[in-house]
Amino acid sequence: MTANLDRLLEIMARLRDPAGGCPWDLEQDFSTIAPHTIEEAYEVADAIDQGDMAALRDELGDLLLQVVYHAQMAREAGHFRFDEVAAAIADKLVRRHPHVFGDVRVDDAAAQTRAWEDHKEAERRDKAAAGTGDHGILDGVPLALPALVRAAKLQKRAARVGFDWGEAASVLAKIVEESEELGHEMADGTERARLEDELGDLLFTCVNLARKLDVDPETALRRATAKFETRFRRMEAWLAEDGRTPDAVALDELEALWERAKRGA
């Protein structure tokens, strides 16, 4: 394993070598590589959703390349090396798992999750006290996260200090309330900015419900989207058998085909 990792690091260094390296790789910097890093992470998630282990192996390799790429650029600039990245995460894992690497006891996975969050919060406080980190409860949640993910993380942070709904049923009631408010704005012909604001409130509350139900909202929406895609493609296939396309079919027939697709017929 060490030999393969060393080989990967050497290949990356050669690609970035000003004397004979790859012109494209030499032009890149942290900001240009960052979008590829995000994309590769999503491709890993997609391979997992598909249950494709061969694809997962390859996608994990692509994601590892992103880490190696950033570490190589950091080494060139004198910031840090790949082994420091590995050491930092190893130290963090040991620090956040005292029940494994120390004498602390946790009773179950839920208790470990709470302990993990407590450790993270303590680390944030220590950094803030040293003047090297964020100071507020909501600080440190990256703006670049997908909106659903960031909303859930911010809500979890707020919940840790007691700013939270009591139960899922109360959140569901709030969703109904937000839906009604949006309906009133639509009926009044409200300007787009106001509709966006009301719709945002509704979506934010839906994320809160997902959190209360212990459902990851990003995963839920991704799977709902995949389900929609599967059913729509099934409709297209049925129409194609008759030489037709969806844009040439009346809505009532499309709705009938949709119901058929939902039944898996």
Whether 70 and 128 map to the same domain: the answer is no
Distance, in Å, from the CA atom of 227 to the CA atom of 208, rounded to the nearest integer, reads: 23
**Across residues 147-165, what is the average pLDDT?**
92
Neighbour-count burial for 154-166, b at 16+ CB within 10 Å, e otherwise? bbebeeeeeeebe
Residues 120 and 176 in one domain: no
Report the domain count for the chain. Answer: 4
Torsion of CA 199, 205, 211, 214, to 10 degrees: -80
**242 pLDDT more than 70:** yes
Within-domain flag for 140: no
Range(s) of the domain holding residue 227: 220-263
| C-beta of residue 72 within 8 angstroms of C-beta of residue 16 | yes
Please name which of 70, 38, 43 lies closest in space to residue 145, comparing C-alpha atoms. Answer: 38
Query: Residue 107's pLDDT is what?
Result: 74
Interval 83-93 mean pLDDT = 95
* pLDDT digit string, tens, across residues 7-47: 999 999 999 999 999 999 999 999 999 999 999 998 998 89
User: Is 157 part of a structural domain of the chain?
Assistant: yes
Give me the pLDDT at residue 143, please: 87
Per-residue CA distances from 254 to 173, 234, 245, 247, 263 (Å): 33, 11, 10, 10, 14
Is 140 in contact with 133 (CB distance < 8 Å)? yes
Distance CA 94, CA 202 (A): 40
Answer whether residue 136 shows pLDDT above 90: no
Residue 226 lies in a domain: yes
> Over 80: is that where the pLDDT of 221 sits?
yes
Mean pLDDT of the residues in the chain: 90
Give the residue-averaged pLDDT of 112-126. 69
